[in-house]
Amino acid sequence: MFQAFKALMKRDLLLAFRHRGELANPLLFFFMIVTLFPLGVSPEVTLLRKIAPGVIWIAALLAALFSLENLFRSDFEDGALEQMLLSPQPLSLLVLAKVLAHWLVSGLPMLLLAPLLGLLLAMPEPAIAALELTLAIGTPLLSLIGAIGVALTVGLRRGGVLLTLLIMPLYIPVLIFATNAVTAAAAGMPIAGQIYFLASLLVLALTLAPLAIAAALRISVS
């Protein structure tokens, strides 16, 4: 099972790096949203510090949503998804490999870029550290939740709007607790409660989301 997990993740990473333009789009989208806010709102440092946690996290959420639609689309179109369904390996394990590969090419670059954007928006060091921690926990959670919606809509020709309607309400708790943690860190307040809540959501998603994704794919392909 580990060999199948490793092989599928390696395959998805190779395919992603062969299409570097598509790989860079979510990251550029994330960067552009954050950098345009000071121009469109105000370059005042005090205001930027107040809105920075929400701006960066909303940009990360939209960039994650932007990158999700092709998670299973190419496999569905070329028949690879049907081969996964017929594989003797657990489908939940295979989809977890695909979600992990998706996070490595979309969530991890945002995690690495976030400190620079935090400095651009005049965030203090404790807030930047909290931002990194919330993104490290929250972006895999976004990928896991989003993959359920993608699996449900993969058979539809224009499932983008439906995908947004399905998963956006599930993203809201992550957005609220993550931005609250960064804001609290900027004010010098403890953030353990918010971090524990996000971590518990991640553990729950790692446990249940692969099973839900596998079931949704079987429904969509059948």
Burial class (CB in 10 A: 0-12, 13-18, 19+), 183: buried
pLDDT digits (tens, 9 = 90+) for 8-26: 888 888 887 777 666 778 8
Burial class (CB in 10 A: 0-12, 13-18, 19+), 18: exposed
Q: Is the pLDDT of residue 134 over 90?
A: yes
Q: Determine the Cα–Cα distance for residues 198 and 51; give it in Å rounded to an integer.
A: 21
Q: What pLDDT is attached to residue 184?
A: 93
Residue appearing with tokens 């954007």: 117
30: number of Cβ within 10 Å: 25
pLDDT digits (tens, 9 = 90+) for 156-175: 776 667 778 888 889 999 99
